[in-house]
């Protein structure tokens, strides 16, 4: 075919100096025309057929392949393969331009195959992602690492073809560039090692709520990559964190809170020391009317009466308003519909550091979503702030301008 094309043009009676250029031009034109026809057939024939099947069957596989342009990449690969077969048949092999043309096509085939495989891997991965609510870190980083290997292999093959050397010969020469490669890919290497550690220890998954104070991240994990982790904060900003930072620095993962179904409430009421005192008889009678305190106060009064009859005043005790208030809070929390009944629930005093007596409420609510949690916490403290006056207890606060005016 190669000599036939030259002989055909030479038979036209043209000068010998024009035969070779015309043969090269005809070979180039026929090669490109053949590649174009293959491209048109694949894109407007096969791909149209696949798209029609996509509409009829509504296959998720076909939809994902179409979304990531897999068919388009294959359509671009088809004419390159056609050129690779046609060029040796039409091009004069003894010419140097033949080698360069064929070499260019082979390099393009290597790169286009890498692009097509990358699109297929992305389609398969996102199809799995759509079907899974939570997927583990190792899969995403593994996919990214696999894509990186694909392109590295394609580039090595392309360079080996261009140099006319074996890929093994090219790889053997990379030893001298090891330090440079380690410097360039240091984040990728650290991210790969970190991803293995996170996968083995199950430290984080997509969808987890994490807090990383060093990077100002506080929100849900959107994506865990080979080099970075994307966190959507609660103010709708995005924070990117190096993947290796999740193993080299401490962070808080709130996943177990959701799994257990209990979120902690830990806040304090500051009691004014000057308002703390013993309960009088009238105060006890008033507080006995409280349903949450009735049985407790009746029992305490009965115990005091028994000790008085036994003439053991040294063993007698008097009830304080802060002690009864603390018992009231405990009963209130234990009967609250949104306080977790099986989790720790207590009210305790903390050290007084000059800002009143801290009365800490420590309990858990089964409503762990942010809005619901804040609503329950606010309802509890709204009630406690309002009911404190019934125990003749004043809450401590720093003096304001109004306080100074009243004092004067």
Question: pLDDT tens digits, residue range 59-114?
Answer: 666 677 777 777 778 777 777 787 777 767 665 555 555 667 778 878 888 888 88
CATH classification of the domain holding 350: 3.30.70.100
Question: Average per-residue pLDDT in the chain?
Answer: 78
Encode 184-220: b = buried (16+ Cβ within 10 Å), e = exposed.
eeeebebbbebbeebbeeebbbbebbbbbeebebbbe
Q: Which of 88-97, 200-209, 333-342, 388-397 has the lowest mean pLDDT?
A: 88-97
Residue pair 304/317 in contact (Cβ under 8 Å)? The answer is yes
Question: Is residue 283 one of the residues assigned to a domain?
Answer: no
- Mark whether 188 and 220 lie in a shared domain: no
Question: Is residue 37 one of the residues assigned to a domain?
Answer: yes
Helix (H, G, I), strand (E, B) or coil at 155: helix
Q: Which residues pair with 263 in a beta bridge?
A: 365
Q: Which residue has the tokens 């430290």?
A: 203
Q: Which two tokens stand for residue 236?
A: 């709708």
| Orientation of helix 70-90 relative to helix 2-10, angle to 10° | 60
Q: In the chain, pLDDT over 70 holds for what percent of residues?
A: 75
- Mark whether 122 and 209 lie in a shared domain: no
Question: Is residue 44 one of the residues assigned to a domain?
Answer: yes
Q: Which residue has the tokens 């830990």?
A: 266
Helix (H, G, I), strand (E, B) or coil at 321: helix
Q: Which two tokens stand for residue 231?
A: 């966190």
pLDDT value of position 115? 86
- Mark whether 210 and 136 lie in a shared domain: no
- Mark whether 159 and 242 lie in a shared domain: no
Q: Which residue has the tokens 């980083």?
A: 141
In terms of pLDDT, which residue wins out, 267 or 142?
267
Within 124-206, strands assigned E span none
Segments forming the whole domain that contains residue 216? 203-259
Helix (H, G, I), strand (E, B) or coil at 236: coil
Question: Is residue 156 one of the residues assigned to a domain?
Answer: yes
List the one residue out of 300, 304, 283 whose CA is nearest residue 393: 283
Question: Is residue 120 one of the residues assigned to a domain?
Answer: yes
* CA atoms of 333 and 363, how far apart (whole Å): 8
Is pLDDT of 343 > 50?
yes
- Mark whether 253 and 126 lie in a shared domain: no
- Mark whether 149 and 212 lie in a shared domain: no
From the CA atom positions of the chain, what is the Rg in Å? 39
Question: Is residue 359 one of the residues assigned to a domain?
Answer: yes
Is pLDDT of 297 > 60?
yes
* CA atoms of 343 and 184, how far apart (whole Å): 51
pLDDT value of position 121? 84
Q: For the chain, first and last CA: distance in Å?
A: 113
Is pLDDT of 28 > 80?
no
Domain count along the chain: 3
**pLDDT, mean of residues 272-287:** 89
């Amino acid at each position: 075919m190669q000599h036939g094309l030259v002989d055909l043009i030479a038979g036209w009676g043209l000068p010998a100096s024009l035969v070779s250029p015309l043969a090269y031009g005809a070979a180039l034109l026929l090669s490109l025309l053949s590649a174009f026809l293959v491209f048109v057939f694949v894109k407007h024939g096969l791909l149209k057929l696949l798209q029609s099947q996509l509409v009829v069957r509504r296959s998720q596989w076909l939809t994902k392949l179409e979304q990531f342009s897999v068919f388009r990449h294959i359509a671009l690969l088809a004419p390159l393969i056609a050129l690779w077969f046609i060029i040796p048949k039409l091009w004069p092999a003894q010419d140097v331009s033949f080698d360069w043309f064929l070499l260019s096509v082979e390099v393009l085939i290597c790169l286009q195959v890498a692009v097509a495989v990358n699109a297929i891997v992305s389609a398969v991965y996102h199809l799995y992602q759509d079907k899974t609510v939570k997927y583990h870190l190792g899969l995403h980083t593994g996919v990214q690492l696999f894509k990186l290997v694909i392109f590295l292999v394609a580039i090595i093959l392309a360079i080996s073809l261009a140099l006319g050397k074996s890929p093994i010969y090219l790889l053997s020469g990379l030893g001298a560039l090891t330090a440079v490669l380690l410097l360039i890919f240091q984040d990728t290497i650290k991210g790969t090692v970190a991803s293995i550690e996170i996968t083995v220890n199950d430290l984080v998954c997509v969808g987890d709520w994490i807090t990383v104070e060093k990077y100002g991240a506080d929100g849900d994990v959107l994506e865990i990559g080979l080099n970075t982790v994307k966190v959507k904060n609660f103010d709708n900003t995005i924070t990117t964190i190096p993947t290796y930072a999740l193993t080299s620095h401490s962070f808080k993962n709130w996943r177990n809170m959701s799994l257990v179904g209990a979120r902690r409430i830990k806040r304090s009421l500051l009691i004014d020391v000057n308002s703390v005192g013993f309960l009088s008889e009238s105060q006890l009678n008033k507080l006995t009317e409280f349903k949450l305190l009735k049985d407790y106060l009746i029992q305490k009064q009965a115990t005091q009466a028994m000790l008085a009859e036994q003439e053991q005043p040294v063993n007698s005790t008097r009830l304080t308003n802060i002690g009864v208030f603390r018992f009231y809070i405990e009963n209130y929390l234990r009967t609250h519909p949104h306080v977790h009944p099986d989790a720790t629930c207590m009210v305790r005093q903390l050290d007084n550091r000059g800002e009143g007596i801290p009365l800490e409420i420590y309990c858990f609510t089964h409503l762990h979503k942010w809005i619901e949690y804040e609503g329950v916490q606010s309802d509890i403290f709204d009630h406690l702030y309002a009911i404190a006056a019934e125990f003749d207890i004043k809450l401590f606060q720093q003096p304001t301008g109004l306080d100074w005016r009243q004092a004067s």
